[in-house]
Structure 1
Amino acid sequence: MLRSATYERSSKESQITVAIDLDGGPVAITTPVPFLSHMLEQLGVHGRFGLSVEAAGDWMVDAHHLVEDTGIALGTAFRSALGDRVGLARFGDRVIPLDESLVQVVVDVSGRGMAVLDLGGNHGVALGSPALYVEHVEEFFRAFARHGALTLHVKTLTDGNTHHQVEAAFKGFARALNDASRIVSDAGISSKGLLDG
């Protein structure tokens, strides 16, 4: 069974092409925001996904559009790659350290798209150039969860260096997604009998 998908999104603000293979493959990321590229690489490598992202857009205005639209595209492709969700483990829960920072990420590929985010007290901190802010990271996670039809909780357990905190969140997200998207049976794990929200 193929568990892969490609999605293209084009607007006046961004042009994005993504491909994901839940069962592995190469990781190739191209965006004009180096810290975003670094985080997406973590998503592919630590999720053990095949992942390709080519993103361009009006980053010179602000990275917000490009980051959020990349989350929309990746979430949409992830949802498509899951197929009918039958037999999935459904839940993933990881606690990831990066030096002084500690972040918990919990995922339920339930069909209900929402995100509850606590990335600590680092709002307004710029990462890299052009700047990626914690607020942008939150928009990425919200967009991925909404369009990926999954419930996502990100909780900072120990605040610290903003780079470390954001990277721990992406690595935790990657591992939790990998856990939740594994096929563990031939039946759906839901008292309703299906995962549709």
Structure 2
Amino acid sequence: MDLVSRKRSTLETEINIKLDLSGKNLEKSIIDTGIGFLDHMLELFSFHSGIKLQIKAKGDLKIDLHHTVEDIGITLGEALDEALSDRKGIARYGEATIPMEEALSQVVIDLAKRPYFYYEVNFPTEKIGNFDTELLEEFLRALAINGKFTLHVRNFYGKNTHHIAESIFKALAYALKKAIKPIEVDILSTKGTL
């Protein structure tokens, strides 16, 4: 299923997402989360993965950014899981190690329906602007668990916090791009199912 729409409505947030896995059904990506840095990361992810995203989010930002960031991760993960459907005819695995100037990060993905999240990242600062760097871990965990896939994220080194985050999102984009690539095998598993 190429184009998926998902909504999440709570007392804390209102999230609306359209995800176009092939990038052929939506004219362009439009991302408005109310959180500038997250918009920037999701725009990078969309551009480099070829997955078009339309995201509109409203949240209780006057409290902090946590609920909005996590709920976007949850909703985006659910949309990705629905778009991947039975996961037939895809490469399943993807890996990318991406530099951003002095920073180097690696993301490895297995799209089998076995949610697992591993995260080894140490940011030199606690914030990027008003964005708490610990929220990137919350976002990625929510994405992987609700997307029902295995996600390993490692930063090898870096001095600039923004560069580290950007290298992670670009690596995520390229790893996912490889994992969803069509292949001729129906199900890439000796079990015959994922």
Find the counterpart in structure 1 of residue 139 from structure 2.
140
Once the two structures are superposed, what CA deviation does each residue of 1:85-144 show, in whole Å capped at 9, x if it has no partner? 01110000000000000000101101011210112243x62112xx21221000000000
Equivalent pair of 1:105/1:172 in contact (CA under 8 Å): yes
CA displacement at 1:38 relative to structure 2: 0.5
Partner of 2:36: 34
Is structure 2 residue 77 aligned with structure 1 residue 78?
no
Matches within 5 A, 1:1-197: 2-24=1-23, 25=26, 26-122=28-124, 125-128=126-129, 131-195=130-194
Question: Contact 2:126–2:134 at 8 Å: present in 1 too?
Answer: no
| Unaligned residue ranges in structure 2 (runs of 5+) | none
Runs ≥4 residues deviating over 3 A: none
The alignment's TM-score, normalised by the length of structure 1, stands at 0.94
TM-score (norm 2): 0.95
Q: Secondary structure of the residue that 1:116 maps to in structure 2?
A: strand
Identical counterparts, % of pairs? 40
How many aligned residue pairs are there? Answer: 191
Q: Which amino acid aligns with 1:134?
A: T
Secondary structure, aligned partner of 2:156:
strand
Q: Is the 8 A contact 1:119 1:134 kept in 2?
A: no
User: Do the aligned partners of 1:4 and 1:80 also contact (CA within 8 Å) in 2?
Assistant: no
User: Displacement of 1:186 after TM fit?
Assistant: 4.4
Gaps of 5+ in 1: none
